Amino acid sequence: MTISWYRAATLPRRVAVLSVHTSPLEQPGTGDAGGMNVYITQTAVEMARRGVSVEVFTRATSSDQPPIAELAPGVLVRHIPAGPFEPLERGELPAQLCAFTSGVLRTEAFHEPGYYDLIHSHYWLSGQVGWLARDRWGVPLVHTAHTWAKVKNAALADGDSPEPRTRVIGEEQVVAEADRLVVNTDVEASQLIDLYDADPDAVSTVSPGVDLERFRPGSRERARDVFGLPRDAVVLAFAGRIQPLKAPDVLLRAAAELLHRDPTLRERLVVLVAGGPSGTGLEQPQALKELADTLGIADLTRFLPPQAGDALVDVYRAADVVAVPSYNESFGLVALEAQACGTPVVAAEVGGLPVAVNHGLSGLLVPSHRAQDWAGALEEVALNPGRHAELSRGALSHASRFAWQRSTDALLDAYAEATSAFQQAALGVAV
């Protein structure tokens, strides 16, 4: 792997990664685990391969968890006791930040000064901890929010709860204190600058990636056999957390609309939903199944628990199209993973999805959440063999541009820039 001279000159020896509310060891697709977990895991492993040690600090949720676990060679996960040994809702976590911060600082205190060269915090809760650790350790702070309260509140799903003012204030504080702010897309960079008054010179765009060795084309027939799906079925799939923000209900309503347009499709249509309730979705964990029944498609809908590893690959391979109907996505890793398997994606035209999906070439973007519009897009992709084959080829080509190795290169460049800015600020040099 070629490393630029600038990055090599400032390559950190050891990075402290802060992930208060979710662990990279957790299964994405349920609870608070999702794309952020994948991001942390993949970039940490890639950095370790380059000789950078990574230690991930996360809140312990069980007394059975070991204090330290090895995620991969060169990557440790530290479980910090903070509050009860059980999962907590995000709204309960700010009260545990003092205890978590104490645990992080205590860990560093057992080592010689300068043990960590840089802090990378993920999500605003971690940013609050990182801000304090930065001042105590005298090292740069890099922050990735993954989602922003002001952006989410501007695109709420019907019935979803807005993010609290506490989070907005917390994010504003982290934006003001971080030495580098890493965002997924240029759209997110603009939002950060416009809504949070971030310094444009302190913002770095680093697109997430996809594991191209795991997510790749394979036998559709074999994948359908795994789930007991008819080989000649028309399969529409959703993979992710079941919550209003992710909008799996949009796919169900669109499927019902397709049947309204062509009742004969009932003989072949299957809606595959893989994921578990999360966030505000926990308030009505059966709501999606009840909606399928109300729409008259319960017999066509298959609900699977969150799928890991090769099982998730099989979900993508089994599908004719993967739907990503979210109301907001800072990027959309599911869209990339599906395309890397050669499956076209129909996604909402929001957030970073216009980057994750190349409209008209690797899939389609829908500018609304109306069932009629989604039914039309799904129909074009799933029921038109020629168009499907064309988009499948485009999906593979598009996804190939987003390897995690490339993301990690860009992230290490952001680390180098943060280190340089921090050092110059410490010397009183104008940046």
User: Could you tell me which residues are annotated as the binding site for Mg(2+)?
Assistant: 316-317, 319, 343
Of 154, 145, 160, 185, residue with least CA distance to 336 = 185
Annotated binding site for UDP-N-acetyl-alpha-D-glucosamine: 27-28, 35, 241, 246, 307, 329, 337
Helix (H, G, I), strand (E, B) or coil at 170: helix
Distance CA 44, CA 14 (A): 11
Annotated binding site for 1D-myo-inositol 3-phosphate: 21, 32-37, 90, 123, 147, 167
Q: DSSP labels for 16-73?
A: EEE-SS--TTSPTTSTT-SHHHHHHHHHHHHHHHTT-EEEEEEE---TTS-SEEEEET
Long-range contacts formed by 367-374: CB under 8 A, 24+ apart: 369/247, 369/250, 369/325, 369/327, 371/250, 371/253, 371/254, 371/256, 371/257, 372/257, 374/250, 374/251, 374/253, 374/254, 374/257, 374/323, 374/325, 374/346
